[in-house]
Each structure stands twice: as C-alpha cells, then as structure tokens.
Chain A
Amino acid sequence: MSEIAIKADKLTKKFDDFVAVDAITFDVKQGEIFGFVGANGAGKTTAMRILCGLSKPTSGSATVAGFDVYKETEKIKRNIGYMSQKFSLYDDLTVMENITFYAGIYGLSDKEIKDRGESLLSQLGISHEAKTFVASLPLGWKQKLAFSVAVIHEPKIVFLDEPTGGVDPVTRRQFWDLIYEAADRGITVFVTTHYMDEAEYCNRLTVMVDGKIDALDTPTNLKKQFSVDSMDKVFYQLARAAKRSGD
C-alpha cells in the first residue's frame, strides 16, 4: 500500500447530464510528482476535488493515502495538503498568523508551529515579513507562502490546483524548487497546470481532454509516443480534438 499514494479506477463525476470526469483510471506512486495537464474545462479541478474529499464521485472508485473517497474523506483530509486556484490565505491576517492558524488546526504543537514557521520563513527568505499582512505581499510571494502552508503539517500527499496562475516565469521556477524540495522529503505531489514548461518538470503526467485521460507517461516517453520535440506539441495534438471549451 505504501507504494501507491493515489489510485483511481473508472472514477466518474456527473453534474446532471454533463460528465465532468469520465471514467479516469490511473495511479500515483509515493514520492512522485504527478502532473494533470489539460485545457480549461477538461475536468482537472473536478477530479482533484474528488481526490481531496471535497466532492463525492458519481461512480468508480478511488483511494487516497489508502482511504476511500466515498467513506473516508475525513481520514483523507488528515493526510493531505491542498492549495486551490482561488487564493487560500487570509488577507487580514499577517504571514505568521496565517501559518499559526493552519498549523494549529492540523494539530501541530506550539513548539512545532514556532520551529516550522521560522524555518519556512527563512526558506522563503521572508523572515522580515512575518508581521506583514498577507494582503500587501506580491502575488508570487503569496503563492509560495500558500504552498509552504499547505505542506506545513508534512502531509503524505499535496494537491496543487494550478498553483502558478498569473505568476511570472522566474517566480514559477522558484515555486517548482519548493515542489522539488517537498518531493525530496517524500511528499507526493499531485499538480494540475496548463503551462507546458511545468508539464516538463513532472515525473509523470496525464493529459486530460473532455473529462477523459488520453495519455499517461513520463514527459520523455510522451514526446516519443507522439514523435514531437516538446510537450507543447503533445498537448496541441491531443487538445485539438477537444469538443468542450471555456471554463
């Protein structure tokens, strides 16, 4: 069980007649950086919300950290971290207050909160901003902080939903350094994105089109499979067939 962090089998989510996620099957190994790539509206976020225990699937099965997504959502929540598309820190709290709050509700002790909070701030190089309100931080810093807060309780798996939207390339690169550091500590990373340069950073990835998984492999193998030289072109070939559009 420790080998497989996430396992999905024919996982499906319907909203009335609309099939947002259409019988996807895949598994993610422990410690892996697993990418979910797809156009807007492909069903990435819906799939991720099911795996996080925020949404119940219509049919199929899935386990996250060994727990069932139908019955054991609360156990799943104890073992994961999550960073949503929407900004998830409190603007009217300071950097340190946000860290304390999230670390606190995950049950960390006061000493752990203090130690991890300080090392997190120094890792991000913002120790001097501990008492700054989050509202006044630049977006790139906010995103990096949000990620660090999402893994402050050292979860088994962290879910990142388009974590680098609207962030400049340099900050995005720094953001991925944080992801690699987390993966080195053994945290499984499940990340959705529509930036193809980010797709290259993943260990393995799937391309989602119209709620279905069309391809699943390492970036290198995918490029071989489609006989192209970049992920951009892989994505283009697959997404061209998409019928859905928009969000």
Chain B
Amino acid sequence: MRTLKFLLQKEFKQIFRSKSIIFSIVFAPIIQLILMPLAANYDVKNIYVAFVDHDHSTYSQKLINRVYSSIYFKAAPYSASYDDAMHLIEQNKADIIVEIPQGFEDNLVRESHDKLYLAVNAINGTKAGVGSGYLGAIIRDFNQDIQMQWKQPGHFAEAQTIDVVTNNWYNPYMSYFLFMVPGLMVSLLTGIGAFSASLNIVREKEIGTIEQINVTPIRKYHFLLGKLIPYWCLGMIVFTIGMLVSRLVYGIVPVGSIPLLYGFLAVYLLTLLGAGLLISTYSDTQQQAVSVAFFFVLIFNFISGIFTPIDSMPEWAKALAYISPISHFAQVMRMVVLKGSTWPDVLPHLGAVFALGVVLNTWAVLNYRKTT
C-alpha cells in the first residue's frame, strides 16, 4: 500500500504539471461539447425547392406559398422550365423540383385530381427522404383543403382519411440535443481516457524511466494501479464537466438517477483505462500507442450507436457493438438521461462492461513484463 501511495503522489504531480493534460481534460471537453452537437445535427432544414409552374393559377400560387411558408423550405430561384430547374440542382442551388402541369387548377376543380411531378436530389439520402416526406405532407394537406372546399356537404364523408397521431415518448419535442449530447459525452470521454492512458506507460518507456522502475522490487499490479487510479479520477472530472455543460448549455437534466450514472461510469472507466494500459504495454513509442488507440476508438465510436442506430447495422457489426464498452455506456447514458431507467435495466450492460474490464486489465498485468 505504501508503494502505491508514492506511485500515486508521483503520477498526480506529473499530471497536474502537464499543461497538455489539463487542456485536454478541462477545456477540450467544454469546447467540444459546445461545438459538436451543433455540427452533428441530423435535423433537416433549409431545403431549397424550385417550382416550375406551368399553370400560373391561383391554386398553383397558393401551393407555392404554402410550401415556402414552412420553416423547412426555402425558395430556389424561379425557373421557367424543368431543364432550367435541373441546372439549379446541378449547381447545388436547389434540392427538390416541383413541376406543376398546365391546367392544374382546372383539373383539380373539375376532375378533382391531378398529378404533380417531384424531382429530388438524392445525393444526401437523409435530406432527400426527409425533404420529400415533408413536402408530400404539405401537398396532402393542401389537397385536403381543396377537397373540402369543393365537395358537396352531402358527400363530406368521402374526404375523411385515417389520421395517425404520433405521441413522442421520452423526447416529446424531438429535441436533437437531448438525444445527441449524452451520446457525445460518452464519445468524448472515451477518446480522452483511451489516449491519455495508452500514452502514459509508453512515455516512461521513451524517457527510459521504466528501466529504473523495473529494477525496483515494485509489483506489477501496483505499478499499473498507480497509472490507472489517477486517470480514473480524471475521467470522473471530465464526466462531471460534461454533465455541467449539458445542464447549463443544453438544459439537459437526467430523468434517472445521477448516482447510477456515476456508478456505471466508475466501472466503464476501469474497462476503458484497462484497454489503454494494454495498448501501452504493447507499444514501444507514443506514436505507436496513439495510432493503435486511434484505430480502436474510431471504429468503436462509429459502431457504438451514438451516431447511427445499432439495429440497422449488419449482424457482424452488431456483434462487435455488443462487445464494445462504448455502445453499452452510450445506451445506458441515453436510457438513464432520457428514460430514467433504473438499476435492473442497466445491470446487463454493467455486467458486459465489467467482464470486459476484468479481461483487459488482467491481460495488461500479464503482458507488462519487468524482465524480458
């Protein structure tokens, strides 16, 4: 125990004297947490719609006004022909073309139906899908209004359709931040934790002080604990800063229990830092350690479900996501922050992360050799 005391004393002094560590622990997460959610935003807004109006009637004008009055759509420059509008798409000035045929108003009133032509730039699949969906809804609405207006009172029943009312649970205003910020916190914490832990032992290898350590009667697990505990504390600090930022900047208050989050975090950090230390024991230079850590952090971040749903991934990626502690922590964060999940809900995730932590840390202790 006394040995550990001296190791910890030394590590903490070194950490608090290193400007780069303080930066990456205090300032980096604040800045990233403020900037990243703004950029990693899948809300589709500012869709440019180009109308090609061959009808020039009151109704076509009404439709156009209704579309442009929506917050999602913006007007692209006017075009006289479909070819004109196509140029706009090619120049990236328009995302959707709506072609209104000649005689639109007449046909609507007399025949009570007509066809519109929609052309969508589908390079960005999400924007195209969501955009044409919104646009379809507006046109349907418009159509219903006209039907109402022209139907005889007696035939009123015909216009009725089934209206589906959606109730958004857990995130009633569909706030993107509420979903994304807890996920990004996991991603940030993981990056900082994995990098700092994997760099640490390697740095001693590079400077040469590890030789001096290896020639002392220090025990391997003491040495690794001496490396793990300080970064575990730092992880707690980073997380706390993250929670404060999400509260103050995004107004996110976890529905579930905060001690539960910290409890899970405590185990998660052990696993994450174990992975970092393991990389450290295999690397000879800081460069090697960073490239390996980067490789794993990047892959596991992308399949973590933070940015895209795990359910829509192929089976092998799902399997990988199941092993990855990042996915478990991201899920638990969202479960607790958004839904208010409790211990029993979190337990399976905790078990998976803990088991992996035991494996990684044992592996690191075994692979760290004082004698070659």
List chain A positions with a Cβ less than 8 A from chain B: 52-56, 73-74, 77-78, 80, 82, 84, 86-93, 97, 100-102, 104-107
Contacts and interface: CB of A to CB of B under 8 A. Distances in A.
Nearest to B10: A101
Given A101-B10, A105-B6, A87 B208 contact: yes
Contacts of B5: 104
B212 interface: yes
Most buried by A among B3, B7, B215: B215
A105 B372 contact: no
A54 B208 contact: no
Contacts of A74: 217, 370
Given A97-B10, A106-B216, A88 B371 contact: no
14 contacts: A53-B215, A78-B217, A80-B215, A84-B211, A84-B212, A86-B208, A88-B212, A90-B209, A97-B10, A104-B5, A105-B213, A105-B218, A106-B217, A107-B2
B214 interface: yes
Contacts of A53: 215, 370-371
B211 A88 contact: yes
Given A54-B211, A86-B211, A93-B14, A102 B370 contact: no
Nearest to A133: B17
Q: Nearest 5 A-B pairs (CB), nearest first? A: A86-B208, A104-B6, A88-B212, A82-B215, A78-B217
Interface of B: 2-3, 5-7, 9-10, 13-14, 17-18, 207-209, 211-218, 370-372
A218 B17 CA distance: 49
Given A74-B217, A104-B5, A55 B371 contact: yes
Nearest to A78: B217
Contacts, number: 77
Nearest to B6: A104
Contacts of B13: 92-93, 97
Chain A interface, DSSP helix/strand/loop, else mixed: loop
A105 B215 contact: no
B3 A107 contact: yes
A209 B288 CA distance: 35
B10 A93 contact: yes
Contacts of A91: 207
A163 B208 CA distance: 14
A90 B14 contact: yes
Given A56-B371, A84-B208, A104-B3, A92 B14 contact: yes
B218 to A, nearest CB: 5
A123 B212 CA distance: 23
Contact of B10 (A55, A73, A90, A106): A90
B10 A54 contact: no
A90 B215 CA distance: 16
Contacts of B208: 84, 86-88
A78 B17 CA distance: 31
A104 B2 contact: yes
Contact of B215 (A77, A92, A93, A101): A77
Contacts of A55: 371-372
A54 B372 contact: yes
B370 A73 contact: yes
Most buried by A among B207, B218, B371: B371
B216 A77 contact: yes
A21 B212 CA distance: 22
A102 B216 contact: yes
A150 B214 CA distance: 13
Nearest to B208: A86
A126 to B, nearest CB: 20
A33 to B, nearest CB: 20
B14 A105 contact: no
Given A56-B372, A73-B370, A90-B14, A100 B6 contact: yes
A53 B18 CA distance: 32
Given A53-B215, A107-B2, 4 more contacts: A54-B211, A78-B217, A101-B10, A104-B6
A101 B12 CA distance: 12
Nearest to B219: A74
Contacts of A107: 2-3, 217
Contacts of A78: 217
A35 to B, nearest CB: 20
A148 to B, nearest CB: 14
A93 B370 CA distance: 23
